[in-house]
Amino acid sequence: MIPNLNDVCDCCGGHGSQAILQLFDNKCFGIAEGKDVHGEFCLNDFAFPVDGYSCVGVTLMADGGLTTLFDNNLMMMSPLTNLESGKAYARGILLKVTYPAKDNNSEEILIQDKNVTLTIETFDGLNYTDYPLYTFFSMFTNPKSNEPSHLINKIELSNPNPNYSVRVSALVLFGNAI
């Protein structure tokens, strides 16, 4: 995130003419084009019940570094029935990836080359999908459901980039089954 819109708008180069998505102090995302802000998406009324949390901070090494951000281990429930009452399950995640400015060869990393792979596994463990991820990801599921299909089973993050490591910060939110 760019900490100050003026750093973008009043400079001589960089992102001066590029519209950007930015989070402002009023808890709203907006599309900033120069000094004008359009398309606000505000989170000032957002609330999500939690029964626990985990802060994750890890470096994904170059060329295949991998971490599991959470795993609800739902595949182990056979047959798949309601979730275990009172047990905490991952129900939400806020994730930020921080990329270095230069790779291991001291060359600038172009924005199109800044990506990691986010893998989301379904509640039954039978299907998963890979998504390219740049900087920010958030996901929330039903915070108080006992239905396994209302949860994502597992989220992993991997770094396919051969020439640089990335820093991952995440807040994983847990909710107890009722």
3-state secondary structure of 150: helix
CB atoms within 10 A of CB 45: 6
Same-domain check for residues 58 and 114: yes
Domain count, the chain: 2
The CATH number for 91's domain is 2.60.120
Same-domain check for residues 17 and 92: no
Same-domain check for residues 23 and 62: no
Q: What pLDDT does 1 receive?
A: 41
Domain that holds residue 11: 5-42
The two structure tokens encoding residue 149: 């299909």
The two structure tokens encoding residue 89: 């399950």
Counting residues of the chain whose pLDDT is more than 90, the rounded percentage is: 79
Same-domain check for residues 121 and 152: yes
Same-domain check for residues 27 and 81: no
Closest to 135 measured CA to CA, from 103, 94, 176: 94
pLDDT at residue 14 greater than cutoff 50: no
pLDDT at residue 169 greater than cutoff 60: yes
- Domain-located, residue 63: yes
Q: What pLDDT does 35 receive?
A: 87
pLDDT digits (tens, 9 = 90+) for 26-76: 999 999 998 899 999 999 999 999 999 999 999 999 999 999 999 999 876
The span from the first CA to the last CA of the chain, in angstroms, equals 37
Alpha-carbon span 49 to 91, nearest angstrom: 10
pLDDT digits (tens, 9 = 90+) for 81-111: 889 999 999 999 999 999 999 999 999 999 9
Q: What pLDDT does 5 receive?
A: 39
- Domain-located, residue 17: yes
Same-domain check for residues 64 and 124: yes
Same-domain check for residues 70 and 96: yes
Q: What pLDDT does 16 receive?
A: 55
The lowest-confidence range among 50-54, 76-80, 163-167 is: 76-80
- Domain-located, residue 47: no
Same-domain check for residues 18 and 87: no
Q: What is the DSSP letter of 101?
A: S
Q: What pLDDT does 17 receive?
A: 76
How does residue 78 score in pLDDT terms, banded at 50, 70 and 90? low
What's the mean pLDDT when you consider all of the chain?
A: 89
Same-domain check for residues 35 and 113: no
Q: What pLDDT does 4 receive?
A: 42
pLDDT at residue 15 greater than cutoff 90: no
pLDDT digits (tens, 9 = 90+) for 121-132: 998 888 999 999
